[in-house]
Amino acid sequence: MALCSGNASLSDTQRSKTWLLRPRKRFSCYGRERGITAGLVVCFNLRSWCVLPLLKAATTEPFQGRVRLESLPGIGPYTAAAVASIAHGESIACVDGNVRRVMARQMANATPTTKQVQAWADAVLWTEDAGNWNQAVMELGATVCTPQKPQCGRCPIATSCEGASNPLRYPAPKVRAKKRLDLMCIVLLDTDGRPHLVQRGDDGILASMWGPEMAEHLDVASYEYVGEVHHVLSHRDLHVRIWKGSIEQGIDEGTVPLSSLDQKVLKRARG
Ligand code: SF4
């Protein structure tokens, strides 16, 4: 796996690396002896709350590698890899959202896993100067291979890019898992099978709709359990367990607005 394809000449590759190494000046002129400046640059980019433990470690302890950094409060794998490579020259690849996007487009992989992105970043890492390489790849993602307007015409690694013909396909937007919500429902039916229905409040799911009593917690001790229905809303995955009981007089459900979930629930309660 290489950033530059077989079509690219050695000079192309060197030019790419020269371009990629532009951020070097920004960092090297601050001095890297103790790793403080580069560490702070990374941390201020992330938010200052993680500066203190990092600064303390940088000033009071000899550097003990990325793994030690990861054990500090507030330091995750990305920050640890960034500080270890940029400040201490450790040969380790950084992976952030920019790197993930570059990888997805380079490999034409719409749904790369974290493991695949890390494997790609490790494989293409320029081990002679991992810190500058990491900054360069992240900078490439932030300024050239941007989410909405990738500038493939001026990209130094375009020759190896398998997704350049349609970069906006990569990576695909993440599909958010629907949040599961467990509900309990008591359906009261009269002798004609007509339900007791109430109008719900103005907020929450199914707001203002009519239906049987439904909530996260109900006292169902005196009712008969009849089963469960599953219903998917745009952002919710509903699991409703149903109990039934009797009432003297229900209402005609055709006279009130009923959601499809409530219709399912009533059907299940009637058997
Ligand atoms: S060629 Fe285009 S899509 Fe591929 S890495 Fe460069 S900017 Fe991104």
Domain with residue 229: its CATH number is: 3.90.79.10
Q: How far apart are CA 216 and CA 232, in angstroms?
A: 16
Q: Is 155 in the pocket of ligand 1 (CB under 6 A)?
A: yes
Tokens of 73: 């409060």
- In Å, what is the CA distance from 255 to each residue of 187, 206, 210, 245, 258? 17, 17, 10, 22, 9
Q: Please say which residue of 169, 191, 225 terminates a domain.
A: 169
Q: Please say which residue of 120, 136, 169 terminates a domain.
A: 169
* pLDDT over threshold 70, residue 13: no
Residue-averaged pLDDT of the chain: 81
Q: Whose CA is nearest to atom 2 of ligand 1?
A: 152
Residue 3 lies in a domain: no
Average pLDDT over residues 130-137: 92
* Most confident option among 55-59, 81-85, 240-244: 240-244
> pLDDT per residue over 178-192, tens digit each?
899 999 999 999 999
* Å from CA of 145 to ligand 1 middle: 5
Q: How far apart are CA 212 and CA 74, in angstroms?
A: 47
| pTM for the structure as a whole | 0.55
> Which amino acid, one-letter code, is at 154?
R
φ and ψ at 168, to 5 degrees? -70, -10
Helices (H), 107-259: 114-124, 130-143
Q: How far apart are CA 107 and CA 164, in angstroms?
A: 10
Residue 38: domain span: 10-169
Are 141 and 88 in the same domain? yes
* pLDDT over threshold 60, residue 12: no
Q: Which of 154, 157, 166, 169 should be mutated for ligand 1, with most atoms under 8 A from CB?
A: 157
- Least confident range of 65-74, 87-96, 135-144: 65-74
Residue 185, H or E segment: strand 179-189
Q: Is 161 in the pocket of ligand 1 (CB under 6 A)?
A: yes
Q: Is 106 in the pocket of ligand 1 (CB under 6 A)?
A: yes
Question: Which atom, in ligand 1's list, is nearest to the CA of 151?
Answer: 7
Residue 74 lies in a domain: yes
Residue 22 lies in a domain: yes
Are 145 and 14 in the same domain? yes
Q: Please say which residue of 169, 195, 228 terminates a domain.
A: 169
115: pLDDT confidence band, cut at 50, 70 and 90?
very high
Are 164 and 185 in the same domain? no
Question: Which atom, in ligand 1's list, is nearest to the CA of 152?
Answer: 2
Query: Does 233 or 142 have the greater pLDDT score?
Result: 142
> Which amino acid, one-letter code, is at 92?
I
Are 99 and 203 in the same domain? no
Contact (CB, 8 A) for 187 and 212: yes
**Over pLDDT 70: what percentage of the chain?**
73
